[in-house]
């Protein structure tokens, strides 16, 4: 399996990037190929402009060169993993902009659907698991990502994996999070990622 790992964080030395790297190591150990897409690193513009606004009157819409490039990149992979910090109980603006612009009408939904076998959302959360579930935040986020985005785009195998307490300062906690990310990579194709 060839997996596109989409990473959204402004700092390369962040825990988010460390998680992405350990996840990719796990993919390699399991015999999968991968490409890491650093949205900040490529200078991706998250703002949806007129040229990329969905035009439901056109059967084959032409998008901006930046979006067309990212659509081609997505098509080269069998599966997708998104790695990102959870900010305000949601995707960071950069990743939300990627979804808005690239997973567009006629490519990811509408007349065509995404061709991917599965999507994994690895969300780094500063809160505890108990805090996440206190007001059903976890369930709401999972429903948004698994149903509102993945399933809407034709990918029924989707799962959100939360890595909790990312603000914890103990090195052993960080290592546990990185080990968990590694195992997610090792077991990516074997895990049942059903909604």
Strands 79-85 and 2-7: parallel
Does residue 22 contact residue 15 with C-beta atoms inside 8 Å?
Answer: no
First to last CA, the chain: 20
Average pLDDT over residues 82-98: 97
Alpha-carbon distance of 154 to 150, in angstroms, equals: 6
Check pLDDT > 60 for residue 33: yes
Does residue 36 contact residue 7 with C-beta atoms inside 8 Å?
Answer: yes
Alpha-carbon distance of 92 to 97, in angstroms, equals: 9
Average pLDDT over residues 156-170: 94
**Residue 182's pLDDT is what?**
98
> Would you place residue 195 in the very low, low, confident or very high pLDDT band (cuts 50, 70, 90)?
very low
Write the burial class of residue 194 (CB in 10 Å: 0-12 exposed, 13-18 middle, 19+ buried). exposed
Average pLDDT over residues 64-88: 97
In the chain, domain spans: 2-186
Does residue 147 contact residue 160 with C-beta atoms inside 8 Å?
Answer: no
What percent of the chain stands above pLDDT 70? Answer: 97
Alpha-carbon distance of 124 to 103, in angstroms, equals: 22
SS3 34: strand
DSSP category for residue 190? T
- 2-186, which class in CATH? alpha beta
Alpha-carbon distance of 90 to 99, in angstroms, equals: 13
* Segment 110-142, tens digit of pLDDT: 999 999 999 999 999 999 999 999 999 999 999
pTM of the model: 0.95
**Residue 8's pLDDT is what?**
98
> Side by side, which strands form the sheet with 2-7?
33-38, 2-7, 79-85, 118-124, 158-163
Does residue 6 contact residue 83 with C-beta atoms inside 8 Å?
Answer: yes
């Amino acid at each position: 399996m060839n997996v596109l790992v989409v990473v959204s964080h402004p700092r390369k030395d962040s825990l988010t990037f460390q998680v992405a790297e350990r996840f990719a190591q796990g993919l390699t150990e399991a015999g999968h190929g991968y490409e890491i897409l650093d949205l900040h690193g490529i200078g991706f513009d998250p703002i949806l402009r007129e040229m990329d606004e969905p035009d439901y009157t056109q059967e084959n819409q032409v998008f901006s060169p930046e979006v067309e490039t990212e659509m081609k990149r997505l098509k080269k992979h069998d599966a997708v993993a998104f790695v990102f910090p959870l900010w305000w109980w949601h995707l960071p603006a950069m990743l939300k902009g990627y979804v808005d612009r690239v997973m567009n009408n006629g490519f990811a939904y509408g007349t065509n659907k995404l061709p991917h076998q599965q999507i994994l959302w690895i969300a780094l959360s500063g809160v505890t698991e108990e805090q996440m579930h206190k007001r059903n935040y976890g369930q709401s986020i999972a429903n948004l990502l698994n149903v509102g985005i993945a399933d809407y785009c034709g990918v029924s195998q989707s799962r959100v994996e939360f890595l909790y307490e990312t603000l914890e300062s103990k090195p052993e906690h960080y290592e546990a999070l990185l080990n968990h990310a590694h195992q997610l990579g090792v077991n990516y194709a074997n895990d049942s990622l059903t909604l």
